[in-house]
Copies of this chain bind each other. A is one copy, B any other.
Amino acid sequence: MRGDYIAIDWGTTNRRIYVIGGDGSLRHTRRDHCGALRMARSDYPAEIGAIRADYGDLPVIASGMVGSSRGWVDVPYCPAPASIADLAAAAHACGDRVFIVPGISVHDQRGCDVMRGEEVQVFGALISGAVSSGALFCQPGTHSKWIATDDIRICALSTAMTGELFALLKSGSVLAEMLQGAVTNGPAFAEGVARGMGATDLPSALFQARAAALLGARAAQDTASYVSGLLIGSDVGARDLAGRVVTLLADGDLAILYRAAIEIAGGTVEVIDSNAAFTAGIQAIYEAM
Binding site for B on A (CB under 8 A): 69, 77, 105-107, 111-114, 143-144, 158-162, 164-165, 168-169, 171-174, 198-208, 211-212, 214-215, 217, 231, 234-235, 237-238
Closest 4 CB pairs of A and B: A201-B238, A112-B211, A160-B203, A168-B168
Whether B174 pairs with A143 at a CB distance below 8 angstroms is: yes
Give chain B residues whose Cβ lies under 8 Å from the Cβ of A238.
Answer: 200-201, 203-204
Give chain B residues whose Cβ lies under 8 Å from the Cβ of A217.
Answer: 107, 112
Give chain B residues whose Cβ lies under 8 Å from the Cβ of A111.
Answer: 205, 208, 211-212
Given contacts A111-B211, A158-B204, A171-B172, 5 further A-B contacts (CB under 8 A): A111-B212, A112-B215, A161-B203, A168-B168, A198-B200
Given A107-B215, A238-B204: A161 in contact with B173 (beta carbons within 8 A):
yes
Whether A105 pairs with B168 at a CB distance below 8 angstroms is: no
Give chain B residues whose Cβ lies under 8 Å from the Cβ of A112.
Answer: 208, 211-212, 214-215, 217
Closest Cβ of chain B to A72, distance in Å, is 17
Q: CA of A215 to CA of B169 in the docked complex: distance in angstroms?
A: 28
A211 in complex: contacting residue of B105, B168, B171, B206, CB < 8 Å: B105
Given A200-B200, A203-B235, A217-B107: A208 in contact with B169 (beta carbons within 8 A):
no
Give chain B residues whose Cβ lies under 8 Å from the Cβ of A165.
Answer: 165, 203, 206
Q: CA of A173 to CA of B161 in the docked complex: distance in angstroms?
A: 9
Q: CA of A198 to CA of B160 in the docked complex: distance in angstroms?
A: 17
**Chain B: CB-nearest residue to A199:** B200
Whether B215 pairs with A203 at a CB distance below 8 angstroms is: no
**Chain B: CB-nearest residue to A110:** B208
Q: CA of A201 to CA of B113 in the docked complex: distance in angstroms?
A: 14
Whether A203 pairs with B168 at a CB distance below 8 angstroms is: no
A173 in complex: contacting residue of B164, B202, B203, CB < 8 Å: B164
**Chain B: CB-nearest residue to A210:** B114
Give chain B residues whose Cβ lies under 8 Å from the Cβ of A174.
Answer: 143, 161, 164
Give chain B residues whose Cβ lies under 8 Å from the Cβ of A69.
Answer: 214
Interface centre among A144, A169, A202 (most CB of B within 10 A): A202
